[in-house]
Chain A
Amino acid sequence: MSAAISPTLGAVLRAERHQLNERFAVARLRHPDLDAEAFAGFIRGAVDPLVGAVARTRFERVTDVTLAAYDIALELVGQKLVGRSARTPHVGGAWRRILPEVAPLVAAEPQRMIGAVCNASHHVSSTPGARPGAWIDLMVRLAGQCSDTATFLTLGQVAAWRAGMAHFRESALAAADKLPESLALAAMDAPGAHWSQVRDRLSTDPWYDPATPNDTSAVPRIVARAGAFRGFGGLFTEPPTVAMADGQLLVRGGSECWLLTADAFGATFHRAVPEEFERARAQSALPEGVSVRGATATIRGTGVALPNGFGEATSACANRTTLALTSAYTHAVVLIAVPAA
Chain B
Amino acid sequence: MGLRDVFQRVSQSPTNPHTAAAPRTFDVADLYRGPVSSADEQSAATASPLDEKLRQAYFWIVNTAIISPHYDIEFNHDPPQSFVLGDVKSRLTLPSAQSYSSYVLLPLLTFATRRKCLFVGGPGRGKTASAILMGVLSGASVRDVRRAMQHGHPQMTVADLLGNPLPADLVSAQRIEDIRISWRSWLGMRVKIIDEYNRIPTRTQSALLTVMGDNYAEILNHIFECPDSAWFLTANDEQGGGTYQVIEALRDRIDVIVQALAFNPRFLSELLVRIEQNVRPEEVVPRQIIFTEAEVDRLQGGIHAVPLPPEVRRRLEFFASQFEFFEGAAEQFEYKTKDTARLAGVEWAGLTAQDTGRDRLKDLGCQTRNGLSVRVLMTLLVYAKALAYFRGNRIVELDDARQILPFVLRDKLVPDTDAPFFDAPGNGKYRVDRVGWLRQLFDLSCAEYDRLNLDAEDPVAALAAEFHLGLDGVTRGDARARLVKIERLIGEWSKGRKLYGNLYDDLLSLKYMHQRYTNYLRWLETQ
Contact = CB atoms under 8 A, between A and B. Distances in A.
Contact of B29 (A30, A157, A261, A272): A157
Given A26-B5, A26-B6, A119 B20 contact: no
B34 A171 contact: no
A23 B22 contact: no
Contact of A157 (B2, B31, B36, B37): B31
Contacts of A246: 22-23
B1 A115 contact: no
Interface in B24-68: 24, 26-40
B82 interface: no
Interface string A240-269: 000001101010000000010100000000
A172 B20 contact: no
A111 interface: yes
A123 B31 contact: yes
A115 B26 contact: no
Contacts of A273: 19, 21
B21 to A, nearest CB: 6
B9 interface: yes
Chain A interface, >50% SS class: helix
B285 to A, nearest CB: 18
Q: Residue among A30, A115, A118, A261 with the most chain B CB within 10 A?
A: A115
Contact of A123 (B2, B5, B33, B37): B33
A116 interface: yes
A171 B29 contact: yes
A81 B35 contact: yes
Contacts, number: 100
Interface stretch (A70-78, A98-106, A208-216): A70-78
Given A29-B6, A72-B36, A111-B38, A248 B23 contact: yes
A26 B38 CA distance: 18
B28 A29 contact: no
Contacts of A114: 36
B268 interface: no
B273 to A, nearest CB: 7
Contacts of A115: 32, 36-38
Nearest to A172: B28
B22 A118 contact: no
B35 A119 contact: yes
A259 B22 contact: yes
Interface stretch (A38-46, A160-168, A193-201, A317-325): A160-168
Contacts of A26: 1-3, 5-6
A26 to B, nearest CB: 5
Contact of B38 (A29, A112, A172, A259): A112
23 contacts: A26-B2, A75-B36, A111-B38, A111-B39, A112-B38, A112-B39, A115-B36, A116-B38, A118-B34, A119-B32, A119-B35, A156-B31, A156-B32, A160-B28, A165-B28, A168-B26, A171-B27, A171-B29, A172-B28, A259-B22, A272-B21, A275-B21, A276-B22
Interface of A: 22-23, 25-26, 29-30, 71-72, 75-76, 79, 81, 111-112, 114-116, 118-120, 122-124, 153, 156-157, 160-161, 165, 167-168, 170-172, 175, 245-246, 248, 250, 259, 261, 270-273, 275-276
Interchain residue pairs A-B with the least CB separation, the first 4: A119-B34, A115-B36, A168-B28, A167-B26
